[in-house]
Structure 1
Amino acid sequence: MPSDTFTPMTWADLLSRPRPAPQATIAYGADDFQKIDLWLPTGAGPFPVVLMVHGGCWTTSVADRSIMDWAAEDLRRAGYAVWNIDYRGVDRPGGGYPGTFMDAAAAADLLRANAAKYHLDLTRIVAVGHSAGGHLALWLAARPNLSRTSPLYTPDPLPIANVISLGGLPDLEETAASPDNGCGTDVVTRLVGKPTSGRADVYADTSVPRLFPLAAAQDLVNGREDTIIPYRLATDYVAKSRGGATLHTVPNTGHVELIAPGSSAWNKAKHLIKLAFHS
């Protein structure tokens, strides 16, 4: 529980900051949310790339890619290109299963087609996701393990060697069984669908632990006082990974701090990104 002296950061604290703007926006579909914002450092490149995935309970009306603008700008100033993807949430036509997952995959894979134009280094990619985006970032790294019979299967997904989940929800089965998670349990059903005769196991190709082991290195950064994403969701995921994931606990930290430049949580995330690019 939060200490008596700890006051968590609010969304208003972050959203009231002057908003920076990306250097380019790229569409990968007809929907308004099938877009990617590209943040480019100064210089000639080639630039290491942070593949960024926003949260918001997989629900477009809760959050879109713009919630990551401040984190993206901070990384851009540090010399990293940021490929900040958006996707149709469960509340958009075509969202849910398989659309939300197919959007995330298509947005990630489009990075390769734009690498030469924007001087992006495809040998140095780190996926960073916040909250529900932590789940999608890990899922993107798990795509090589998808069954060929899955509607989500693609033969040559973008290789991702490192993933950093910030207050993520990687285990959809546990999330659906945890009414204390800030997204609620109904949204997971809206995301993965209900069991049917043709798809009885809705978690087989959507929940990351079902796709273990991941080839990517996995780092989880979680605030110890996060009241939106229960801390046990991180510890349980790490235990299931059997050494595949590492948990980094940040004290006196809630949920918003994880993507707020200047916070100790965001400084930890930036340090892990730096280490990943130099591993």
Structure 2
Amino acid sequence: MIRQALLASLLLMTGCASHEGRPSNARIGSVGPVDVTVTRDFVYTPQGWPQELKADLYKPAGNGPFPAVVMIHGGGWEGRTREDMNDISQRVAERGYVVLNMSYRFAPQWHFPAQLQDVQQAVLWLRAHASDLNVLKNRIGTWGYSAGAHLAALAGVTSPSDKWFVEGTRVQAVVAGGTPVDIRYYKDGKLTNGLTGVSYDENPGLWREASPLALVSSDDPPMFLYHGTFDFTVGVNNAHSMYEALNANNIPAELYLVRGLEHLSTFMVDSPVDNGIDFLDIYLRATKPKLSEETSGGGRILR
């Protein structure tokens, strides 16, 4: 009841959302809701990995084949748990996706690129078990919020020409909310310095390698960005900058801005999640989408 009351008050505070870049066939391929089976606390990292890491696997009813999503929680790279993403994982799975909701190594004990490497291992685990799960190997996406969104986006834009690329870890879509797209915006931040383990002045190259915005290139996957316009924890300029960089490289991208909400409240509302799943339906299910003249320019307003 408390959560419902809070969500109701958040909706009252929110006037509307703007949505740019949405293709005209946005709901093609949508399914569900279907029943979901959850397997909790299995180890997804290989033997000998620096830290044994666990995940929860959400499998929709049916024979498939299924697209899949790696789900990544936030917490400033140094805390929280994958339980934060349980609700979103359930909702995505109900729409016909296998979801791997993962834990990862925390800063400052573990520095970048450890967290990215954990995400890459989750992608590799899904591909290694694709036959058992009836997962489509080439229809895998990442989804995260806050620090998890940073990792989701980073896994998406890390390509063969980048230093930390691992063969077999490319994904086909990214959903990222409240995303710190460039850690160089926060050179004096405790969390970003904890993530890198070194100051920007000491190793600017490492800070660049840990910044999704700096790695955007023309071979990157489509990306759905959502953000609250009153987010003063991770400024909305992050979403704008990433959207512009993706457009400049001709990468299909959507920008969903929830007006009047800040970092935590944006995470708690339903509409960005619903639209994020619609986005996955386009790029992980359907064939090539076509942008309509009405939505490919200045965007549209959802009331």
Band of TM-score, shorter chain: 0.7 to 0.9
Kindly tell me the number of residue pairs found equivalent between the two proteins.
249
Contact between 2:71 and 2:102, CA under 8 Å: does it hold in 1? Answer: yes
Counterparts of 1:200 and 1:273 in 2: how far apart (Å)?
34
Shift of residue 73 of structure 1?
0.9
Tell me, yes or no, if structure 1 residue 69 matches structure 2 residue 76.
no
In the alignment, what sits opposite 2:123?
108
In the alignment, what sits opposite 1:192?
196
Tell me, yes or no, if structure 1 residue 219 matches structure 2 residue 224.
yes
In the alignment, what sits opposite 2:295?
none
Please tell me the residue identity of whatever aligns with 1:276.
Y
Tell me, yes or no, if structure 1 residue 163 matches structure 2 residue 180.
no
Tell me, yes or no, if structure 1 residue 140 matches structure 2 residue 155.
yes
1:201 to 205, 208, 211: 205
Please tell me the residue identity of whatever aligns with 2:227.
N
User: Percent identity at matched positions?
Assistant: 23
In the alignment, what sits opposite 1:26?
42
Shift of residue 83 of structure 1?
1.4
In the alignment, what sits opposite 2:97?
80
Contact between 1:146 and 1:211, CA under 8 Å: does it hold in 2? Answer: no
Shift of residue 68 of structure 1?
0.3
1:276 to 277, 283, 299: 283
Once the two structures are overlaid, the 10-residue window that deviates more, 118-127 or 222-231, is 222-231
3-state SS, counterpart of residue 222 of structure 1: strand
Consecutive unaligned residues of structure 2, counting only runs of 5 or more, are 1-9, 15-35, 288-303
Please tell me the residue identity of whatever aligns with 2:152.
A
Please tell me the residue identity of whatever aligns with 1:138.
A
Scaled by the length of structure 1, what TM-score is found? Answer: 0.78
Please tell me the residue identity of whatever aligns with 1:250.
V
Higher relative contact order (CA 8 A, sep 6+): 2
Shift of residue 101 of structure 1?
2.3
Contact between 1:195 and 1:202, CA under 8 Å: does it hold in 2? Answer: no
Counterparts of 1:171 and 1:237 in 2: how far apart (Å)?
9
Q: Alignment RMSD, CA only?
A: 3.0
Tell me, yes or no, if structure 1 residue 58 matches structure 2 residue 77.
yes
Counterparts of 2:136 and 2:57 in 1: how far apart (Å)?
14
Per-residue Cα deviation, 1:94-116 (whole angstroms, up to 9, x for no partner): x1123222222222222111111
Contact between 1:50 and 1:81, CA under 8 Å: does it hold in 2? Answer: yes
In the alignment, what sits opposite 2:7?
none
Per-residue Cα deviation, 1:111-166 (whole angstroms, up to 9, x for no partner): 1111112221212222211111111111112222444xx3x342x13221211111
Please tell me the residue identity of whatever aligns with 2:212.
V
Consecutive unaligned residues of structure 1, counting only runs of 5 or more, are 8-19, 180-184
Distance 1:112 1:207, change over 3 A: same
Contact between 2:39 and 2:58, CA under 8 Å: does it hold in 1? Answer: yes
In the alignment, what sits opposite 2:134?
119
Per-residue Cα deviation, 1:168-188 (whole angstroms, up to 9, x for no partner): 1121112x14x7xxxxx1111
In the alignment, what sits opposite 1:250?
258
Per-residue Cα deviation, 1:36-67 (whole angstroms, up to 9, x for no partner): 2110011222211122111111112xx12111
Distance 1:42 1:194, change over 3 A: same
Distance 1:139 1:164, change over 3 A: same
